[in-house]
Amino acid sequence: MEVDLLDPPETTPAWLAKVVQANRLEDPLPLRALLSSSIYYPSSRLCGLPIKHYGRLQRLTKRITHKNLQRSFVYCDYDVSQNAFTQEVHQIGLRGFSLFGMRAVREQELWPVGYPTTQPTEKDGRIDLYARRRQQPFWATWAVFCRDGDGAGRSPTLLSLLFIGGEAVSVYERLYARLGVGFASTVLCLVQPGYGLGGGWSPLQQCGGFFHRAAEECLPGFILSGGYHKFYNSPVWGYEHLVEHIVRSRHRAAQLWCREEVQPL
């Protein structure tokens, strides 16, 4: 994830500031604070797109909700191994940032073990693949990065990245839906989520699909969608108000969408 972060001037969230004050990553995880006004990116691979464009996403969402996005990203992908993520962090990292700290996260820090989630039907996709993926060993890692050059009297700019090697819908239900935090200003990132040949068992972006139905009681304020095919350039889940094009090129696009009820006056 070799990316640039164009970060607007803002106060570091208190829960992230505590990381610097304590000089270590908090244990247990400050889950509610971390999820509030965060960016959730399922089927993320090791793509840095929402981090690279965080500054624009922050300004656009604040214009509508009058609330700050946090520099908090929750990635989820069952095709990424813990070893691959760790290597990415140490060998490539984030351009302009240094790793402040990283640690493994226990499952019980995130949700009660065995917490029930919505079960799909055969109409929702490849149930056989879904069952296999749900049986994969749990892993999660929390990493915090600090912008290079901060210090010497200047408040550090920190960024939190929680990566979970899990299934997208069940993770969303067990985290965001269970706790019900920060939805009005939360961004769901559905960029080339990959169905079929892409390794996904169900089309995450499908309106009325399994993910959409499972999230109906806890919909995000915004959806960042896009990909390498024109199929990904249309509204998702009925979010029909185009806020702005974030990426616009011949072969790739990404747009920020919101629902009618959260349009600015």
239 within some domain: yes
Based on its alpha-carbon atoms, the radius of gyration of the chain, rounded to whole angstroms, reads 18
Tell me what pLDDT residue 263 has.
Answer: 54
* 3-state secondary structure at position 218: helix
Task: Please report which confidence band the pLDDT of residue 265 belongs to, taking 50, 70 and 90 as the band edges.
Answer: very low
Whole-model pTM: value is 0.93
DSSP 56: H
Cα four-point dihedral sign 104, 95, 43, 90: negative
223 within some domain: yes
5 within some domain: no
131 within some domain: yes
Task: Please report which confidence band the pLDDT of residue 261 belongs to, taking 50, 70 and 90 as the band edges.
Answer: low
Structural domain span for residue 230: 14-262
Task: Please report which confidence band the pLDDT of residue 154 belongs to, taking 50, 70 and 90 as the band edges.
Answer: low
Instruction: Say if residue 153's pLDDT is above 60.
Output: no
Tokens (6 digits) for 162: 């929680």
9 within some domain: no
In the chain, how many domains are there? 1
Distance from chain centroid for Cα 259: 19
- Taking only the tens place, the pLDDT of each residue in 50-93 is 999 998 999 999 999 888 888 999 999 999 999 999 999 999 88
Distance CA 208, CA 21 (A): 45
Least confident of 3-17, 215-229, 236-250: 3-17
Q: What is the mean pLDDT of residues 244-249?
A: 90
8 within some domain: no
Distance CA 141, CA 123 (A): 33
49 within some domain: yes
Tell me what pLDDT residue 215 has.
Answer: 92
Mean per-residue pLDDT over the chain, rounded: 87
